[in-house]
Chains A and B, each alone.
Chain A
């Protein structure tokens, strides 16, 4: 006898995120107006910058590649009720796998390098996430805490390695050696010059495959069944003979592996080497992407494109409107993350009430719950 009924699915996965986005844009518009700029111009510049031409689209999708991997990493763990906030550190450390493959096979072909780099970075990212997974499963240390802490450890390890181990002789900057030949994952602009300077590269194929993989894993496999059972009701999974500890460790490995694959896009697709902080906080954006995408792989893909557009549009805005500084862009991005991620439930009660009043189908469903016919 609850007062409210859940939203229909389309409203939950489409209408609500769009409303949240509109709300974020309205608040951003007010902030832009407050510093004396025209918010409508700003929105136009961002939209055109992100989708107006192939170069803009190329940048948008390049960012989206990172966000898909990070978002999937968060989403797949969330299906099991686990909150992996360590995608940043898992991706950062996984850069070692990408660069190792890139440097070792620099004389072969990218067709070989790309899949092997995905595997190597996936394994490193996965193992890095497996440690918090083990601690949660066997020792009860909460993954939220441990994955955050592991970001710092990963960062410290990478700074040490880049300064003392990976840095080639005679180089000032803390970075690894460059890959120069086949180790580079080809960017689409090498074939289609319309992409201009956009670093969109073949890694996106694996991002799309990862989306499909996560969908099949979660909703079509026995492991996915066990995972979702644990996520919804850990007591029921114990009852069902599902080993929660094994499920936790497995999904944390998969989650970390997905995060790790993000490194391939950055290290071999764009920078051609490992530099300090190449993940640029994108692992954390994955949390917002997963939230906005409702932890569903297709939702994550859409949300990732949106965030990609936001990043690319933000860069354009910075060029075109000098009054809007880099910090302002961060403010706008933060507003979108806040409204679509952290406060995604803000409009939910109001919307549910609206549906209770206006939705006949909702009423019928509510009645079906309350009134189950006892006669045939």
Chain B
């Protein structure tokens, strides 16, 4: 094992935090945090959004200074002043949102900011060799000359890891690394992390997906409300126990629901053909129906047309051909206000990406509570917006859906991911739609909120709504749906009963193998 610091006898801990305190005004973001990360291990840190994981890692990475407490890197006391300093000490970070220049090559991204001199050519050729060495050593194969925007998200994440390694990182912090990855890409990432561990690197994995913690970490630390509530060997714990530690109460990881009682057909999709922005046909003549009181889940690897399908049904994207029929009425989706007409007919839509579509993050919360229903008479009958009514309603819904903090004047960007999602879900459900289409309902959402949102979806079903669910989380599809449709390459390739279908069968169908062959 190579030793980076000059400290002679290496400490057995790569990172040691002692009594870290960080207060923001009256709020303790981190309180008396002790953490020991053993060298050459994968150490998971779990906690709900807002538990203080990010603040703690920010302190370790030099974004914030702790109010008190000590940081030891490789046994040496360190006063980390900024991220550059953290990197010098061998601490590298892979952010949740990649910090890459999209139109640069992978090689250029790797050396960005650490060029040797003003002449780029010599840096590049040296970096090319080093990159090849790193790629071989850690089995992180990338094409150094590929342009970043052309490669997959999983590949982009590799570039981020390579960037940190190129800068000499011994300890890698990964912040919610699988949030943007497909299951295969996530498996691939875990393989890379295991290789890193074999090679003596230390990995700190921040996540709130307990499955990942169980699958890959050696030790797991749980944070709740700014405090470290437990650190246990992963082999001696269970997801249920971790969930309880995170939330502070018993949590049901399985969704509890009774049998469905499907009624009349409320949503019918007939021969729908949809193209994406570049004119590529992504939905190739899809037919299905959703009845009142049932949840139909669409499973599939991301990018097989689910996004375009949802957008088209919601009126955000013109169809090339085919119809969407809502409660017997053909929706007129043409034009850029199709979503308005779809809503008027009784369609609710929780979009796949709340920050890009479902919310205006710069708006105050009550304004987002209005979004999509701004022409509704509840918010004023004339040209003026009835702000008082809108705010009162927003507060009411925040209490009903347990959105915290319940401050309708707070900027939406300041809410955690789970609370942002609750704002969207509350808005779409409280309009009492006939049909609710839901995309990735729990992406980047903490456990407590996941449980809540799942229960709300079941409640809507039991209230006789037709629900169409799209998720890349196969577990979510299987536990919520009453029927599963599998989408592959723009087609519905099969239907499955969640009670009997195995993960393997569904996985094969998602990969395009026909149902009969899959069984």
- Interface of A toward B, CB cutoff 8 Å: 1, 3, 220-226, 228-229, 232-233, 235-236, 238-246, 360-361, 363-375
Overall SS of chain A's interface:
helix
Cβ contact within 8 Å between B335 and A224: no
Closest Cβ of chain B to A9, distance in Å, is 11
Cβ contact within 8 Å between A241 and B360: no
Cβ contact within 8 Å between A239 and B58: no
Return the CB mask of B222-254 against A: 1 if under 8 Å, else 0. Answer: 001110000000000000000000011000000
Decide yes or no: A374 and B25 within 8 Å by CB, A1-B95, A241-B343 being known contacts.
no
CA distance A360 to B341 in the complex (A): 47
Is B356 positioned at the interface, with any CB of A under 8 Å from its CB? yes
Among A220, A226, A361, contact of B387 (Cβ-Cβ < 8 Å): A220
- B333-349 residues with Cβ-Cβ distance < 8 A to A are 335-343, 349
Return the CB mask of B3-33 against A: 1 if under 8 Å, else 0. Answer: 0000000000000000000011111110000
Cβ contact within 8 Å between B336 and A240: no
Among A238, A364, A366, A371, contact of B226 (Cβ-Cβ < 8 Å): A371
Among A225, A242, A371, contact of B24 (Cβ-Cβ < 8 Å): A371
B183 contacts across to A, CB distance below 8 A:
none
B379 contacts across to A, CB distance below 8 A:
222
Closest Cβ of chain B to A254, distance in Å, is 13
Return the CB mask of B41-53 against A: 1 if under 8 Å, else 0. Answer: 0000000111110
Cβ contact within 8 Å between B374 and A373: no
3 tightest Cβ-Cβ pairs between the two chains A and B: A367-B24, A241-B340, A364-B25
Closest Cβ of chain A to B267, distance in Å, is 18
Return the CB mask of B387-413 against A: 1 if under 8 Å, else 0. Answer: 100000000000000001100000000
Q: Can you name 8 A-B residue pairings with CB atoms under 8 Å?
A: A233-B359, A236-B360, A242-B374, A243-B336, A367-B29, A374-B50, A374-B51, A374-B225
Is B135 positioned at the interface, with any CB of A under 8 Å from its CB? no
Among B95, B335, B351, contact of A239 (Cβ-Cβ < 8 Å): B351
B419 contacts across to A, CB distance below 8 A:
372
B224 contacts across to A, CB distance below 8 A:
374
CA distance A363 to B28 in the complex (A): 11
Among A240, A242, A244, A373, contact of B50 (Cβ-Cβ < 8 Å): A373
- Interface of B toward A, CB cutoff 8 Å: 23-29, 48-52, 54-55, 57-58, 63, 95, 175, 224-226, 247-248, 314-316, 335-343, 349, 351, 356-363, 367, 370-372, 374-375, 379-380, 383-385, 387, 404-405, 414-416, 419, 448
Cβ contact within 8 Å between B404 and A372: yes
Among A220, A223, A242, A370, contact of B337 (Cβ-Cβ < 8 Å): A242
Cβ contact within 8 Å between A368 and B58: no
Decide yes or no: A241 and B372 within 8 Å by CB, A3-B63, A366-B24, A372-B49 being known contacts.
yes
B384 contacts across to A, CB distance below 8 A:
220-222
B383 contacts across to A, CB distance below 8 A:
221-223
CA distance A245 to B419 in the complex (A): 32
Closest Cβ of chain B to A339, distance in Å, is 26
B95 contacts across to A, CB distance below 8 A:
1
B28 contacts across to A, CB distance below 8 A:
371
Among A239, A363, A371, contact of B358 (Cβ-Cβ < 8 Å): A239
A363 contacts across to B, CB distance below 8 A:
23-25
A1 contacts across to B, CB distance below 8 A:
54, 57-58, 63, 95, 175
Cβ contact within 8 Å between A238 and B29: no
CA distance A143 to B156 in the complex (A): 34
Among B340, B341, B351, B362, contact of A232 (Cβ-Cβ < 8 Å): B362
Among B335, B337, B356, B367, contact of A225 (Cβ-Cβ < 8 Å): B367
CA distance A369 to B387 in the complex (A): 25
Number of A-B contacts (CB under 8 A): 150
Cβ contact within 8 Å between B50 and A371: yes
CA distance A373 to B48 in the complex (A): 10
Cβ contact within 8 Å between A373 and B336: no
Cβ contact within 8 Å between A226 and B48: no
Among A222, A223, A225, A369, contact of B414 (Cβ-Cβ < 8 Å): A369
Cβ contact within 8 Å between B360 and A229: yes
Closest Cβ of chain A to B90, distance in Å, is 20
Cβ contact within 8 Å between A225 and B385: yes
B356 contacts across to A, CB distance below 8 A:
233, 235-236
Closest Cβ of chain B to A375, distance in Å, is 7
A369 contacts across to B, CB distance below 8 A:
414
Closest Cβ of chain B to A212, distance in Å, is 14
Most buried by A among B315, B356, B361, B372: B372
CA distance A331 to B48 in the complex (A): 56
Complex: chain B residue closest to A245, CB-CB: B336
A365 contacts across to B, CB distance below 8 A:
24-25, 414
CA distance A360 to B27 in the complex (A): 11
Cβ contact within 8 Å between A225 and B357: no
Q: A221-B383, A368-B24, A372-B405 are in contact. List 5 more A-B contacts (CB 8 A).
A: A222-B384, A223-B383, A243-B335, A360-B25, A372-B404
Cβ contact within 8 Å between A239 and B414: no
Among B54, B337, B360, B374, contact of A222 (Cβ-Cβ < 8 Å): B374
Complex: chain A residue closest to B50, CB-CB: A372
Cβ contact within 8 Å between B29 and A371: yes
B359 contacts across to A, CB distance below 8 A:
233, 236
Decide yes or no: A364 and B372 within 8 Å by CB, A241-B337, A372-B49, A372-B404 being known contacts.
no
B340 contacts across to A, CB distance below 8 A:
240-243
Cβ contact within 8 Å between A241 and B248: no
CA distance A224 to B363 in the complex (A): 13
A235 contacts across to B, CB distance below 8 A:
356-357
CA distance A228 to B24 in the complex (A): 32
CA distance A223 to B23 in the complex (A): 42
Cβ contact within 8 Å between B52 and A371: yes
A239 contacts across to B, CB distance below 8 A:
314, 316, 339, 349, 351, 357-358, 371-372
Among A220, A242, A373, contact of B385 (Cβ-Cβ < 8 Å): A220
CA distance A149 to B358 in the complex (A): 36
CA distance A232 to B361 in the complex (A): 8
Cβ contact within 8 Å between A370 and B357: no
Cβ contact within 8 Å between A241 and B338: yes
Cβ contact within 8 Å between B339 and A225: no
CA distance A370 to B223 in the complex (A): 13
A246 contacts across to B, CB distance below 8 A:
337
Decide yes or no: A236 and B248 within 8 Å by CB, A372-B416, A373-B404 being known contacts.
no
B25 contacts across to A, CB distance below 8 A:
360-361, 363-365, 367
Closest Cβ of chain B to A221, distance in Å, is 5
Closest Cβ of chain B to A203, distance in Å, is 26
Cβ contact within 8 Å between A373 and B372: no
Cβ contact within 8 Å between B448 and A368: no
CA distance A368 to B357 in the complex (A): 24
Among A225, A232, A374, contact of B247 (Cβ-Cβ < 8 Å): A374
Closest Cβ of chain B to A200, distance in Å, is 33
Cβ contact within 8 Å between A236 and B336: no
CA distance A373 to B448 in the complex (A): 12
Closest Cβ of chain A to B64, distance in Å, is 9
Most buried by B among A366, A368, A375: A368
Among B247, B358, B416, contact of A236 (Cβ-Cβ < 8 Å): B358
A3 contacts across to B, CB distance below 8 A:
63
Cβ contact within 8 Å between B360 and A232: yes
CA distance A365 to B247 in the complex (A): 23
CA distance A366 to B50 in the complex (A): 11
Complex: chain A residue closest to B52, CB-CB: A371
Cβ contact within 8 Å between A370 and B315: no
Cβ contact within 8 Å between B385 and A224: yes
CA distance A365 to B27 in the complex (A): 9
Cβ contact within 8 Å between A374 and B336: no
CA distance A217 to B264 in the complex (A): 44
A364 contacts across to B, CB distance below 8 A:
24-27
